[in-house]
Amino acid sequence: MFSSDRDYWKRYFDDENRNKVREWQPMPKQTHPYLKRGGGNINNSRIEFLSREVQTYKNLLSQEKEYRDKLIVELHRLKSENNSMKMKLNRIKKDVLKSD
């Protein structure tokens, strides 16, 4: 029983100290970067928005091109490997037919 009372008061005073620290240190106010309001006019903000959108699509296009190029390289590697295996198989077939 003694330990539970002790734990209760320990938590109580710990909570009291936390509340004192919160009152003593106010939370710093930080503006969210996406919520900043620009001072320009509406046309400039639309132009900036459209230019950012164009840049985003350019980035997506370049990523897709890189991925496509990687796939083409992989396809070429597999084709060449396939051709070499086919040539080896044909040689083996030829040798087996000659031996018969």
What is the number of domains present in the chain?
Answer: 1
Tens digit of each residue's pLDDT (9 = 90 or more) over 24-73: 556 666 666 666 666 668 888 889 999 999 999 999 999 999 999 999 99
In a domain, 71, yes or no: yes
Which pLDDT band holds residue 1 (cuts at 50, 70, 90)?
Answer: very low
- Note the pTM of the prediction, 2 decimals: 0.48
Contact 38, 45 (CB under 8 A): yes
In a domain, 90, yes or no: yes
Count CB neighbours of 1 within 10 A. Answer: 5
Residue 99 domain boundaries: 64-100
In a domain, 8, yes or no: no
In a domain, 3, yes or no: no
List the one residue out of 21, 52, 20 whose CA is nearest residue 34: 52
